[in-house]
A and B are shown apart, each in its own frame.
Chain A
Amino acid sequence: MKENLYNYILGIADNSLILGQRMGELCGHGPSLETDIACTNISLDLFGQVRSYFQYAAKIAGDQRTEDDIAMLRKEREYKNVLLVEQPNTNFAYSIGRQFLFDVYHLAFLAELQKSPDLSLSAIANKCIKEVSYHERFSSDWVKRLGDGTEESNKKMQEAINDLWTYTDELFHQTEADIVMVIEGIGVDVTKLKDDYYKRVNNLLKEANLQVPESKWFQKGGKEGIHTEHLGFLLSDLQYMQRTYPNMEW
């Protein structure tokens, strides 16, 4: 089995899985019907993308593992998602802020992954990027509406950005698998996406009448499996059916 490629794919897919679960939690709880539908649509896109990645990963694993096993039957430390995407839906501004800070990265990442000589990865990226460009449009639009809205909405959006900011730098960290994949020419060198990311994000924040946080202290660990306390609760929800009825099928 190609261990590094397998881990590399999981590193990409887990972000979509965990963010998809977070957005799915808003089903029936969105602030309005339209936003509720939008958030769950984004969730559905992300889960669809995850299926493609995990099907490919299962093929590489080459054993009995299925896409469902990979999604549902791992322990907390084995999930490789960044800390940003596991942060809870504290309020709508948080959900939007988290989505926006991830979408800008996700879009730039997929644009590069499309060029990968690994044909499965490039095909998935080529498919996903079309959907993610809609996500990015939606979340940027809402950051602007909230930031440039009322005093209250501006305050909440600013708080969300301030709190989530500490998780942004991790997007550009490389794991061992990442480094090997970059050397082999298959993976994306995320360190090269950083400057452009902050340029785009900062410009939009300014446009939204929001302050760019000045804090230079960043949290990390998710990519190595060291998560915030929030992931355990999320997984207990996500894995509930498989824990309660092992091997059940839909």
Chain B
Amino acid sequence: MTTTEQHIDQILIPILEQVSDPEIPVLSIMDMGVVRSAVIVNDIVKVEITPTYSGCPAMDVIGDDIKKALKDEGYESEIDLILHPAWTTDWITPRGRKALEDYGIAAPLDAEADKDVLLNEKRLVKCTNCGSQNTRLVSQFGSTACKAQFQCDDCQEPFDYFKCLK
């Protein structure tokens, strides 16, 4: 689908990669897939970002951080929040998924498996500490809108799971 393509000027990528989600500092906004376009028009960088969740309080901060990062490199910018097409966890890059796992947040499963684990019907989420799949749902909602709480029944580690959003 053409509407899900990102249009980002090559020269801006390294700058945008330095900006991270304030609630998940290991994950750059590029790897999270929230930057939908970034182009230089008449010396002004026009950036379009899309929220992960509607109420995500990080979006305002992300917008400010992008402005600051661009300003540090000498660019003025305008940030637009767009809702369409809606963000999906499919846009998290493989590098982003790895960063999440290393940070202790289990990366989202596919939609079908996600439903099974969130109803506690199957044990499929891998523990970020020991790798066991013997994990169970503690709560469908976690420390931020995008996560659920899980616990490993082997090593007992409690951890976050990034919910599938499709």
Chain A interface (Cβ < 8 Å from any Cβ of B): 34-35, 37-38, 41-42, 44-49, 51-52, 119-120, 122-124, 126-128, 130-131, 134, 137-138, 141
Further contacts, 7 of them, CB under 8 A, given A119-B84, A128-B54: A37-B143, A45-B55, A48-B51, A48-B145, A49-B54, A123-B84, A127-B84
A43 to chain B, nearest CB (A): 8
- How many angstroms from the CA of A46 to the CA of B143 in the assembled complex? 17
Decide: A41 near B54, CB < 8 A? Known: A123-B86, A126-B84, A127-B86: no
What is the predominant secondary structure among interface residues of chain B facing chain A? loop
Whether A44 pairs with B83 at a CB distance below 8 angstroms is: no
| Residue B24, interface by CB 8 Å | no
Whether B55 pairs with A44 at a CB distance below 8 angstroms is: yes
Which listed residue (B118, B138, B143, B166) contacts A130, Cβ 8 A? Answer: B166
- How many angstroms from the CA of A148 to the CA of B109 in the assembled complex? 30
Which listed residue (B86, B118, B149, B166) contacts A137, Cβ 8 A? Answer: B118
| Residue B53, interface by CB 8 Å | yes
Contacts of A52 in B (CB 8 A): 54, 83
Whether B142 pairs with A37 at a CB distance below 8 angstroms is: yes
Whether B54 pairs with A45 at a CB distance below 8 angstroms is: yes
Whether B141 pairs with A127 at a CB distance below 8 angstroms is: no
* Chain B 34-91 interface residues, beta-carbon cutoff 8 Å to A: 51, 53-57, 83-87
Decide: A130 near B84, CB < 8 A? Known: A37-B141, A45-B145, A137-B140: no
Contacts of A41 in B (CB 8 A): 141-142, 145
Ranked nearest first, the 10 interchain pairs of A and B with the lowest CB-CB distance are A48-B55, A48-B54, A34-B139, A123-B84, A38-B141, A44-B55, A41-B141, A123-B83, A127-B86, A49-B54
Whether A130 pairs with B86 at a CB distance below 8 angstroms is: yes
Whether A42 pairs with B53 at a CB distance below 8 angstroms is: no
- How many angstroms from the CA of A110 to the CA of B45 in the assembled complex? 34
- How many angstroms from the CA of A130 to the CA of B54 in the assembled complex? 10
Whether B141 pairs with A42 at a CB distance below 8 angstroms is: yes
14 A–B pairs (Cβ distance < 8 Å), ordered by A: A34-B139, A37-B142, A38-B141, A41-B141, A41-B142, A49-B55, A52-B83, A124-B83, A127-B87, A130-B165, A134-B118, A134-B140, A134-B141, A137-B118
Which listed residue (A51, A122, A138, A141) contacts B54, Cβ 8 A? Answer: A51
Residue of A nearest to B146 (CB): A41
Which listed residue (A34, A47, A124) contacts B55, Cβ 8 A? Answer: A47
A60 to chain B, nearest CB (A): 16
A interface footprint on B137-159 (CB within 8 Å = 1, 0 otherwise) = 01111110100010000000000
Whether A45 pairs with B118 at a CB distance below 8 angstroms is: no
| Residue B126, interface by CB 8 Å | no
- How many angstroms from the CA of A42 to the CA of B118 in the assembled complex? 16
